[in-house]
Amino acid sequence: MKTEEIAQLQKEHLMPTYAPGIALVEGSGTSVWDAEGKEYLDFVSGIAVTNIGHCHPKMVHAVQDQVETLVHVSNLYYNEKQPVLAKSLAEHSGLPGAKCFFCNSGAEANEGLIKLARLWGSKHGKYEIVTMRQSFHGRTLATLTATGQDKVQIGFGPLPEGFVYANFNDIQSIEDAIGSKTAAVLVEALQGEGGVIPSEPEFLPALRKLCDEKGILLLCDEVQCGMGRTGKWFGFQNYDVVPDAFSLAKGLGNGFPIGAIVAGETLSDIFQPGHHATTFGGTPLACSAAQAVIDVIEEEELLANTMIMGAYFVEGLCEIAMKHKKWIAGVRGLGLLLGLVLDVPAAPLQKKLQEKGMLALATAGNVIRLLPPLTVSQEEIDKALKLIGEACVELHDEMAAQSPNPCQCGMGE
């Protein structure tokens, strides 16, 4: 089918929760193709999902082999793939005595973290979770309430009780939010949906110390910045901090749905039979896909590639920003989770990039989020920089033409 046919079929039979513009039908590595055969450089990666690129042969073979062996048996029975994957994650986490719970998505993983914290705090009457403004934790009722953004909560009240908001990168704000009912603080090492805002160097260590002093849990949402995206296995590792537990999804399965909770010794045995469950979490198929992802990251040394290519990409983006400093504020992020921060709305630049054959994301109103796969090459980054540079020149000229007076458009020379 062509894009027009697909769009019409979707309009007739799917709830209008999304507003897609193109129909993608094939992918390989860093490239995707639409229904008309046009190739795009994919610097969205399914929103930090396809970290090892589209259709990586090792993952394809792992999934194919497992489909022919055993797909699903229910968690009422042992499944050899689960403990193997859990062992891998525990070893990379750095959490003493770590154990895992597998689910299907980031929202489910964060929902599980919330339940885990409440169960831990219940014997002391503690149930509140402090989360950050501009955070993003999911779309279930509990996780959209945990999300510190009004726009995702409008129309869904009454919202669940037990969430208090504080300012990201502001220890005093968090300390002020902690009360006698507080069980945990939930935080992202880098706010992706909030505008690609990394933690300041001293923030997470100070937060770990504060949680220890108050006798509460530190929980990390690693759904977007985990699985190598920042150049470390998990975002919090950039700050030499060990949380009590963290959530995973997105890049864990490289497109195959799987989420996880990884909990250290304080929380590893809090859940007992009957406390929490899922029908599809941690199937042999899902765990085989995730283990293949871990193997590829290790064998192809993708953490190192992420750091090298991330630094190279930042250098090129900063050069573009300097050429358009009247309306590009700068670049921020970690590894290959980067944001080009604008002083104008980001949507027009996103659209122009798509027209040129590059996919990127406008987020937080004025940020272009750039999420290439961790396998990205220097040549592919050079191609991206060329397209971004061209798009910025064209957008500059269009804005200047719309407002000839530099004082009105803020463009200047």
Structural domain spans, the chain: 3-52+301-409, 58-299
136 is in an annotated binding site: yes
- Specify the DSSP element, H or E, that contains 239: none
Residue 43: phi and psi, rounded to 5, are -110, 30
In the predicted model, is pLDDT for residue 232 greater than 50? yes
17 is in an annotated binding site: no
The pLDDT of residue 145 is 98
- Specify the DSSP element, H or E, that contains 62: helix 57-67
Average pLDDT over residues 115-133: 97
223 is in an annotated binding site: yes
Average pLDDT over residues 348-365: 97
pLDDT, tens only, 27-59: 999 999 999 999 999 999 999 999 999 999 999
Average pLDDT over residues 208-220: 98
The pLDDT of residue 404 is 60
224 is in an annotated binding site: yes
CA distance 180 to 182: 6
Sign of CA dihedral 338, 340, 341, 344: negative
Tokens of 254: 């490289």
The CATH number that domain 58-299 falls under is: 3.40.640.10
Average pLDDT score, the chain:
96
Tokens of 373: 């796969």
Write out the DSSP string of 283-331. -HHHHHHHHHHHHHHHHTTHHHHHHHHHHHHHHHHHHHHHHTTTTEEEE
Q: Which of 204, 266, 267 is nearest to 236 (CA)?
A: 204
221 is in an annotated binding site: yes
283 is in an annotated binding site: no
CA distance 333 to 367: 11
Q: Is the pTM here over 0.75, yes or no? A: yes
pLDDT, tens only, 95-116: 999 999 999 999 999 999 999 9
Tokens of 28: 């390989």
In the predicted model, is pLDDT for residue 408 greater than 80? no
- Specify the DSSP element, H or E, that contains 7: helix 3-13
The two domains 3-52+301-409 and 58-299 share their CATH topology (first three levels equal): no
106 is in an annotated binding site: yes
The pLDDT of residue 199 is 98
Question: Rg of the Cα trace of the chain?
Answer: 22
The pLDDT of residue 411 is 41
In the predicted model, is pLDDT for residue 409 greater than 80? no
Which letter does DSSP use for residue 336 in this model? T
The pLDDT of residue 400 is 87
8 A C-beta contact, residue 145 and residue 139: no
Residue 65: phi and psi, rounded to 5, are -65, -40
In the predicted model, is pLDDT for residue 221 greater than 90? yes
Tokens of 311: 């630094």
CA distance 27 to 44: 13
Q: For the chain, what's the residue count?
A: 413
8 A C-beta contact, residue 61 and residue 301: no
CA distance 245 to 276: 16
Q: What are the residues facing 219 on neighbouring strands? A: 186, 245
Tokens of 361: 């994301």
In the predicted model, is pLDDT for residue 202 greater than 60? yes
The CATH number that domain 3-52+301-409 falls under is: 3.90.1150.10
Q: Which of 95, 323, 314, 312 is nearest to 217 (CA)?
A: 95
The pLDDT of residue 362 is 97
